[in-house]
Structure 1
């Protein structure tokens, strides 16, 4: 299986994982997906993510990640799953506040975003439980502790 990612780093930051780590996390999330895929990971600042969050979700302020699945028309053949927009400064703040390593938080958020591109959601409690269980399973394969268990905070 071949998963192709395009990385668009729109901010200068030492806190952004290298492309190899991003690829590892995407591949882990897509391990059971039968097709080759393409996706974009755009790494942005707070003003850009805030604008997107307000426009597409009607929620003010920054968020850690937004997922934009590509709704493929039947007559187009493409492997494009969609786009992930990640706010590096928000991830850094969250990792610090949650006492998690920044690398592990990035891994979790990338896996979370890819699962959204595959159709997972967490609006309803039962959907959230299913999505969290999948995230925990994928992260465990990467030797990353359950991100939802406070006892695993660094």
Structure 2
């Protein structure tokens, strides 16, 4: 896997091995050949992610994670698995970009009484699933996506984040 990480906030110490493990777990579970996949990850703060959220989603507030898929892989039928990504003419699979905010992740982890590492792992998995065409706008799609997240997290020894 080709993972390009840009660290804009120095508090993101140790993100690379955590993100690499989470992304590898998603790709192993969902099927694309990890050796062919490319992902860009921006590790930023709330101010930067609020700018991105305003620019791309017209929501001028911070959020935990944003994703920009390189290709629309979403299933046409609600609740169905997305299409598999295919390599481009170079033989690589550009999946897209993810941004993640330190302050929001830290606050959410604290509020949920979870470790920061477990919460960030979940959010990286969530972001990669968006790159692979999963979504949670419709209830049936949300159920599918959450189920996949829980299964991947379980394989990694992390508790179900939706079981509160």
CA distance in 2, matches of 1:130, 1:5: 26
Normalised to the residue count of structure 2, the TM-score between the two structures is 0.83
- Give the C-alpha shift of residue 16 in structure 1: 4.1
Aligned length: 146
Among residues 110, 113, 121, which one is paired with 1:96 in the alignment? Answer: 110
CA distance in 1, matches of 2:95, 2:143: 23
CA-based RMSD of the aligned residues comes to 1.7
Segments of 5+ residues of structure 2 without an aligned counterpart are 73-86
Could you tell me whether the CA contact under 8 Å between 1:69 and 1:81 is conserved in 2?
yes
Could you tell me whether the CA contact under 8 Å between 1:84 and 1:113 is conserved in 2?
yes
Normalised to the residue count of structure 1, the TM-score between the two structures is 0.89
- Give the C-alpha shift of residue 60 in structure 1: 2.1
CA distance in 2, matches of 1:4, 1:135: 22
Structure of greater relative contact order (alpha carbons < 8 Å, 6+ residues apart): 2
Could you tell me whether the CA contact under 8 Å between 1:16 and 1:88 is conserved in 2?
no
Q: Give the 5 Å matches for 1:52-91.
A: 52-71=52-71, 76-77=89-90, 78-91=92-105
Segments of 5+ residues of structure 1 without an aligned counterpart are none
